[in-house]
Amino acid sequence: MRRFPEGFRWGTASSAYQFEGDNTASDWWAWEQQPGRIRNGDRSGLACDWWRAAERDFDLMVGLHQNACRLSVEWGRLEPHDGAWDAAALARYLQMLRALRERGMEPLITLNHFTLPQWVADRGGWLWDGLPRAFAAFAGRLTRAAGALCDFWVTLNEPVGHLALAYLFGRFAPGRRNPIALARAVVRSVRAHAAAYRAIHAVQPHARVGVAAYLRPAEPAVPSSRLDVWLARRLDHATNWMYLDALATGRLRSPLGIQVAVPEAAGTMDYVGVNYYTRSRVTFDVRRPGSGFVREVPAPGVAQSDGGYGEIYPDGLLTVLRAARRYERPVYVTENGLPDAADRLRPAFIVEHLRRVAQAIAEGVPVRGYYHWAIVDNFEWADGWSLRFGLHALDRRTQARTPRPSAALYGEICRRNALP
Ligand code: IFM
């Protein structure tokens, strides 16, 4: 048995848009209705019905002995129009937070998990220069309202990956394919995080605030190729460290070396949030200028999760946890999981990734918690309902949940605070 430190946080992670259902005031709602945006023409619809009955899944979490839960709030629901708050929506969120506390779980609230209120999107979304101010006002107001129930916050989920999908690869709303727009959006996002960080701390000085960064080690497909090595380094910097470095230093350094000063961001990271799923093995491909000349080359013979989501590569988690030590902050694995409808690979996936977490802790990395993605199948953005990440299978028609074998395994690990 490998024990985790006393007080280690065991949770599952979720997001409002993917779980609540009927988020009609958010930009993704209109986006989903456009033909061709979502695989198989799927819609989020009622999602996992959390807006009416999140407590059903909170009970499942208790059954798994979780002591923590990561969830997000939908900005568009709370503030459907500029400056106008919806009192009933706020009351529902407070009810959900109380429900978690009553069940012995510490909430970790994400303020932005990809979606924007439609009114923000209409003004330019992540390119709107008023976004940092509006987001900070939202963050401050929510902290005043919910601060008695929560002091642990993620401002932005996976800012770099999300903005790349939205402004470079055109797969997420608003579907742009423009590197300059991406660069501007990343700067805006760092400013938005910094403004929200300060707004939360102004209300709640003891708050713990950070981002949940999608960390995906990039390795050269051909280690002897200088071009592949160069490309992997650039990609590793852009995907993984550029943004977090900016929150540490106040300087945003692009992969090609251009530097933008964002002094208000310096020192705005109380912990490092790590979302880890897989790695990238890359080769330089001259035919792919639109993707930064990157072509992913899966390692031969390695297990893949459903739908080409990626290679199963637990060592990558150890790599990024070791690297995160550079920020000298507590570290949380804020997401980790895989799409695996048959639960063929998930049990070993959980154990192997948690082994790497235990190893990192043994090496002195201050990892304080782990949130598995996810308690139940949910709406996987452009992939719709085709990818099944749940410890429980969801029947969307009846909303019935069926535990997959890995649910009991994860529950046992949480209960023992140890790996079998
Ligand atoms: O479902 C997503 C989540 O919204 C962000 N992190 C990755 C998950 C799985 O793809």
Beta pairing partners, 122: none
Confidence band, pLDDT 50/70/90 cuts, at residue 301? confident
Domain membership of residue 209 (yes or no) is yes
Domain membership of residue 221 (yes or no) is no
pLDDT number for residue 1: 64
Distance 162 CA to ligand 1 centre (A): 10
pTM over 0.85: yes
Confidence band, pLDDT 50/70/90 cuts, at residue 354? very high
Confidence band, pLDDT 50/70/90 cuts, at residue 420? confident
How many domains does the chain fold into? 1
Report the distance separating Cα 313 and Cα 237, nearest Å: 19
Measured CA to CA in angstroms, residue 311 lies from 160, 300, 317, 358 at distances of: 21, 10, 12, 21
Nearest CA to ligand 1 atom 1: 380
* Mean of the per-residue pLDDT values of the chain: 97
Q: What are phi and psi of 61, to 5 degrees?
A: -65, -40
- Residues 136-191 have pLDDT tens digits of 999 999 999 999 999 999 999 999 999 999 999 999 999 999 999 999 999 999 99
Domain membership of residue 228 (yes or no) is no
Domain membership of residue 279 (yes or no) is no
Confidence band, pLDDT 50/70/90 cuts, at residue 52? very high
Domain membership of residue 278 (yes or no) is no
Is the model's pLDDT at 292 over the cut of 90? no
End-to-end distance of the chain based on CA atoms, in angstroms? 5
Confidence band, pLDDT 50/70/90 cuts, at residue 313? very high
Nearest CA to ligand 1 atom 9: 380
Give the structural domain span for 194: 2-214+309-419
Calculate mean pLDDT across residues 394-417: 98
Retrieve residue 175's tokens.
Answer: 């579907």
Calculate mean pLDDT across residues 387-403: 98
| Proportion of the chain above pLDDT 90, given as a percent | 96
- Residues 1-50 have pLDDT tens digits of 689 999 999 999 999 999 999 999 999 999 999 999 999 999 999 999 99
Is the model's pLDDT at 256 over the cut of 90? no
Domain membership of residue 295 (yes or no) is no
pLDDT number for residue 85: 97
- Residues 327-341 have pLDDT tens digits of 999 999 999 999 999
pLDDT number for residue 84: 97
Question: Does residue 79's CB lie within 6 angstroms of at least one atom of ligand 1?
Answer: no
pLDDT number for residue 290: 83
Mutate to test the pocket of ligand 1, among 335, 376, 377, 385 (most ligand atoms within 8 A of CB): 335
Domain membership of residue 57 (yes or no) is yes
Query: Cβ distance 222 to 327 under 8 Å?
Result: no
Helices in 221-283 by DSSP H: which ranges?
226-236, 242-249
Is the model's pLDDT at 304 over the cut of 70? yes
Q: Which domain CATH number covers 365?
A: 3.20.20.80
Helices in 36-177 by DSSP H: which ranges?
50-63, 75-78, 87-102, 118-122, 131-146, 159-167
Domain membership of residue 21 (yes or no) is yes
- Residues 365-376 have pLDDT tens digits of 999 999 999 999
Report the distance separating Cα 41 and Cα 228, nearest Å: 37
Retrieve residue 75's tokens.
Answer: 């900005």
- Residues 67-100 have pLDDT tens digits of 999 999 999 999 999 999 999 999 999 999 999 9
Distance 192 CA to ligand 1 centre (A): 21
Report the distance separating Cα 292 and Cα 239, nearest Å: 12
Distance 18 CA to ligand 1 centre (A): 9
Is the model's pLDDT at 58 over the cut of 90? yes
Q: Is the alpha carbon torsion for 355, 358, 363, 366 positive or negative?
A: positive
